[in-house]
Every structure is written in C-alpha cells, then in structure tokens.
C-alpha cells in the first residue's frame, strides 16, 4: 500500500488501508492546511497591486542583520500597503527542525533563508518555487555560476544566493612574529608552527574540534582531502573515507589533536571552537570572515593581531583551492499563496544601495553574492573592510573555487547526511578514545555513511 499525505492530495490505495489511514491522516495533516502550488499568483498581472500576507523564516538572529531585514520589510509594506510581511527568526539548527516538521504538516513559510544542503532536500520534495524570473530581473550574470548551481535542478533555479563566505586559515600575527615564524603555507608548516606555539593552558597551537554535535571534524578532513585533489564523496555518489588522501588526512588531524589541541576539543562544536580563538587561546583556527566580528565583540584588543591566509596545501607551490564555500540563499516556497508579492519582496533585497547596507551589517563575514558589488565604492567604503582588506581579499579569492562539503559534483542529498550525522566525528573519536586503527575506523564510517545514503533513498551511479 502507498499512502500519500494530503500535501500532495490523497491517493490512498486499498480499501482497508484507506479506512485506517484516512482517520490518521485527516488528523495528522488535514488541520495543517494543505496547499498546492499557487499557479495564479505565479503569473501575476503586472499592473495589479501586490497583496497578501507573507511569512518570512529568517536565520538571521544577529542584531544588525535582523534589524536590516525588518527595516526592508517595513519599507516594502509602506510601498505596498496591501502586503503584510511577518518575519519569524530561527537559529540555523532550529530551522532544520522547523522546516522538516513544517513540510510534513503543511506549515511552511512563503520565503525563507536556507543552507545549500537543505535546498537540495527541499528541491527533491518539490517544496520550492522556481525563481529564474527573480534571478533574471536581478541580473543572472551578476551571480557566480557555482553559487547558482547549488540551487539548480534540470536547469531550473530554486534558490537565489544572498551572500557568500569561505573557510580560510586565521592566525595570530603577534604570536607568529614573537616566535619568528612565517605564515604557514603547507600542512607540514602548519603542524610545525602549531607545535611551536603550543603553550597550554595559556595558548594552544590549533584546536581540532571533533564533537558529534557539529560537522567540524568533517570540515577539517574535507580541507585536507580537497588539498590533495580528492573528495569525501566519489563520482558514484558513495562516501570515500578510505582513499589514500582521506587516510592521510585522518592521520594528520589525529596527530594534530594529540600534539596541539585541548583534550576537551574531542567534543567541541563550532561555538566552543570559535570561543577559544575569540579569547586568544588558539594561535590558528579555520573559519570564515565572521571571525572578525567575533573577535571584535569578545576581545577587541586582539583585533590588530589577527589575519587570514589561504588554507594550507600539500606543497607550497600547489595551487590555492577552495576548501569550503558557503553560498547562503533565499528560497520561495511552493506552498505559499502569495508568490508574486514574495518574489517582489525578495527582489528588493538586492537593490544595490540596500544590498550594500545588508552586507555591511556583518562586514567581512558576509561577502556579496553579486560580483559587481565587490568592486562598488559604496561597498568598499567600510572601516572593517579596509582594516581587513588583505584577509577579505583572501576570502574573495577562494569563494569561487569551493563548494559546500560534498557538493563538488553538484547538489546531492549525501552532502546533507555527511555533515549532519556526526559519522566522521564519531570515527575520529573512536580512533582517539578507543584506539581503533585508522583504516578500520575509516572503513566502518564509510560503510555507515553509505548505508545512511541508501536509507535516505540515494541511488549510486
């Protein structure tokens, strides 16, 4: 028997199944309000005034970004008095639960922010409306093809990149200078420098965060594998943790953990990790330009002593690579009743002057998804961007070179699973705490990930 929730219309097969399921499904989903794509509003009369109530789920919890978005909504409502915009703010982890349960119950917004791997899942269940019309209005060639590609399926775009950031290596200039060390360019140089600067409990060379509550272990391993020209997901779509590059990477991070990292970092998440750098407890760290704001808020006295460099390579003359780029997009939901107004509002967020204000709300952290804005004098006229000009240049250089973890071959469901299940982090913990051999732990983790992919309905090539 196949049951289909009322989200797609009831198609319950078999008589007794219909009786049993009808009661449960009516109660489960009937109350939630079910809506098919609103084709009427998707093709609006351009002269008609925009109307409707728009619900916007925003992942922007930080003050300046949240205030900016509310300001834009107020402005849009003033210009379109028949439109009402309600912004509901969620933290990113909370958003994961919110949209998955919302989808099951039919309670989804009109517009939302999303992470690239979430967009893949949303596209696969037909939850999103095509947004090629919005992209064309803003200017398709202003976006990078890679960023657009993360939200495309069968040449149709379902997400609009809003801003980008990329992972780079942050370091303490004062500590390097005091020790007479150069900025590391290779993994070996990084290890040597981190060991040289390791002076616990005052300072740790480099913390290696491996908590199962986050995806930091996967991120660090991905950096190493990328630098070797490999990937954590192979061309067939399977997890690949037993390749020579992956085994080398696992060994590298296990060794680094033992030599330069706080013992507790075996269970750190991204906040624990970042806090160490903000407090001046680590000499090196990996993060995006959001580190600038973090250090400014927590330890402004250190602001003069931090800088960013490209991720280490295997050999110094290897090309610079993109370890991990995040293109954070906006999406318009299929179930929304007011797609015309929703798309019109989204479009206003990209108007040059307002867009620059938005990007300036986290200077250096959010970099423009619109290529021409990066050269715009209004954008460059910012104190932080000028102070950290060389670091921001490093980030801008690697953004087009990278993708989200596991999306090297395009958007895949596997990318979400590899970073959400803590399997790679469990593998590291197993090696370090239980003494499991690296190859055995890698094989176990690889098999587990592939099993999870199958469970999620992935078909390998």
Partner 1 sequence: MGTRIQTLGKAAFVLPAMTVVLALLIYPVLSSVFFSFTDRNLLKAAYEFVGFQNFTIVLSNPEFWNAFSTSIRWTVGSILGQLLVGFLAALALERVPRLSGLFRTLLIIPWAFPAIVIGFSWKWILNDVYGFLPNLLTRLGFSEQNVSFLADPSVVFWAVLVINIWFGAPLFMVNILAALKTVPKDQQEAALVDGANIGQRFWFITMPHIRKVVGLLIILRTIWVFNNFELLFLITGGGPAGITTTLPIFAYRTGWGLHQLGMASAITVLLLLFLLAIASIAFRIINSGDRKALR
Q: Taking contact as CB under 8 A, which single stretch among the options 181-189, 260-268, 316-324, 340-348 is the one that binds partner 1?
A: 260-268
DSSP conformation class of 49: P
Binding mask 208-247 for partner 1 (x = CB under 8 A): --xxxxx---------------------------------
Kindly tell me which residue out of 83, 113, 121, 289 binds partner 1, with binding defined by CB under 8 A: 121
Give dist(CA 43, CA 191) in Å, integer. Answer: 58
Q: Contact with partner 1 (CB under 8 A): which of 69, 138, 232, 276?
A: 276
- The DSSP secondary structure of 341-361, one letter per residue, reads HHHHHHHHTTSHHHHHHHHHT
Q: Checking DSSP bridges between strand 83-89 and strand 52-58, what pairing results, if any?
A: parallel
Q: Residue 389, interface with partner 1 (CB under 8 A)? A: no
**CA-closest candidate to residue 292, choices 359, 355, 385, 176:** 385
Q: Is residue 433 involved in binding partner 1 (CB under 8 A)?
A: yes
CA-CA distances (angstroms) from residue 11 to 4, 8, 19, 22, 57?
Answer: 6, 8, 12, 10, 30
Residue with Cβ nearer partner 1 (211 or 364):
211
- 435 makes contact with partner 1 (CB under 8 A): no
Q: Is 272 in the site for partner 1 (CB under 8 A)?
A: yes
Determine, following the binding rule CB under 8 A, whether residue 7 of this chain makes contact with partner 1.
yes
Q: Are 356 and 185 a contacting pair, CB within 8 Å?
A: no
74 counts as binding partner 1 under rule CB under 8 A: no
The answer to the question of residue 285 lying near partner 1 (CB under 8 A) is: no
- 227/118 Cα distance (integer angstroms): 26
- Min dist CB 446 to partner 1, Å, is 17
Of the residues 225, 233, 366, 417, which one makes contact with partner 1 according to CB under 8 A = 417
Q: Is 444 exposed, middle or buried (0-12, 13-18, 19+ CB in 10 A)?
A: middle
Q: Find the shortest distance in angstroms from Cβ 178 to partner 1.
A: 21
Binding mask 17-36 for partner 1 (x = CB under 8 A): x--x---x--xx--------
Pairing relationship of beta strands 111-113 and 152-153 according to DSSP bridges? unpaired
Q: Are 172 and 306 in contact (CB under 8 A)?
A: yes
Site membership for partner 1, residue 104 (CB under 8 A): yes
Calpha distance 415→325 (Å, rounded): 13
Check binding of 263 to partner 1 (CB under 8 A). Answer: yes
Does position 269 bind partner 1 by CB under 8 A?
Answer: yes
Tokens of 342: 């929703």
Q: Kindly tell me which of 387 and 426 has the beta carbon lying closer to partner 1.
A: 426
For partner 1, the binding residue among 251, 371, 420, 444 (CB under 8 A) is 420
Determine the Cα–Cα distance for residues 67 and 400; give it in Å rounded to an integer: 29
Q: What size, in residues, is the chain?
A: 461
Quote the CA–CA distance of 24 and 45 in Å, as a whole number.
Answer: 40
107 binds partner 1 (CB under 8 A): no
Instruction: Tell me: does residue 150 bind partner 1 (CB under 8 A).
Output: no
**Residue 275 in contact with partner 1, rule: CB under 8 A:** yes
Rounded CA-CA distance 321/310 in Å is 8
Residues making contact with partner 1 (CB under 8 A): 1-5, 7-8, 11, 17, 20, 24, 27-28, 96-97, 100-101, 103-104, 121, 124-125, 200-201, 204, 210-214, 262-267, 269, 272, 275-276, 279, 281, 417, 420-422, 425-426, 429-430, 433-434, 452, 455-457
């Amino acid at each position: 028997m196949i049951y289909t929730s009322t989200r797609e219309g009831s198609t319950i097969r078999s008589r007794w199944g219909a009786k049993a399921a009808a009661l449960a499904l009516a109660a489960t989903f009937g109350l939630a309000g079910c809506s098919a794509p609103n084709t009427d509003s998707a093709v609006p009369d351009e002269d008609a005034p925009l109307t409707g109530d728009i619900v916007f789920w925003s992942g922007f919890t930080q003050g300046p970004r949240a205030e900016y978005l509310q300001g834009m909504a107020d402005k849009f409502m003033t210009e379109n008095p028949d439109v009402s915009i309600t912004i509901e703010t969620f933290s990113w982890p909370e958003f994961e639960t919110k949209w998955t349960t919302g989808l099951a119950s039919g309670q989804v917004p009109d517009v939302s922010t999303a992470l690239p791997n979430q967009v893949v899942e949303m596209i696969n269940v037909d939850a999103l409306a095509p947004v090629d019309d919005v992209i064309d209005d803003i200017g398709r060639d202003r976006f990078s093809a890679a960023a657009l590609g993360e939200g495309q399926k069968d040449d149709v775009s379902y997400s609009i990149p809003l801003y980008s950031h990329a992972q780079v290596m942050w370091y303490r200039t004062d500590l390097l200078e005091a020790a007479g060390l150069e900025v590391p360019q290779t993994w070996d140089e990084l290890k040597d420098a981190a060991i040289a600067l390791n002076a616990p409990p005052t300072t740790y060379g480099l913390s290696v965060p491996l908590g199962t509550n986050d995806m930091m272990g996967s991120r660090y391993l991905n950096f190493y594998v990328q630098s070797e020209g490999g990937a954590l997901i192979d061309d067939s779509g399977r997890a690949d943790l037993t390749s020579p590059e992956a085994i080398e990477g696992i060994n590298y991070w296990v060794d680094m953990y033992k030599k330069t990292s706080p013992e507790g970092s075996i269970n750190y998440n991204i906040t624990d990790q970042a806090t160490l750098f903000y407090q001046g407890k680590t000499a090196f760290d990996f993060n995006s330009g959001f580190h600038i704001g973090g250090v400014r808020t927590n330890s402004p006295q250190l602001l003069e002593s931090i800088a960013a460099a490209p991720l280490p390579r295997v050999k110094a003359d290897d090309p610079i690579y993109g370890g991990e780029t995040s293109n954070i997009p906006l999406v318009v939901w299929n179930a929304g009743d007011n797609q015309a107004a929703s798309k019109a509002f989204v479009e206003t967020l990209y108007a040059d002057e307002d867009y620059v204000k938005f990007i300036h709300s986290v200077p250096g952290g959010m970099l423009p998804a619109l290529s021409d804005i990066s050269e715009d004098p209004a954008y460059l006229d910012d104190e932080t961007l000028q102070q950290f000009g060389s670091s921001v240049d490093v980030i801008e250089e690697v953004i087009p070179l990278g993708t989200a973890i596991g999306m090297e071959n395009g958007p895949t469901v596997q990318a979400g699973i590899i970073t959400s299940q803590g399997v790679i982090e469990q593998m590291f913990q197993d090696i370090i705490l239980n003494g499991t051999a690296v190859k055995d732990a890698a094989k176990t983790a690889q098999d587990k990930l592939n099993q999870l992919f199958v469970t999620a309905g992935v078909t390998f090539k």
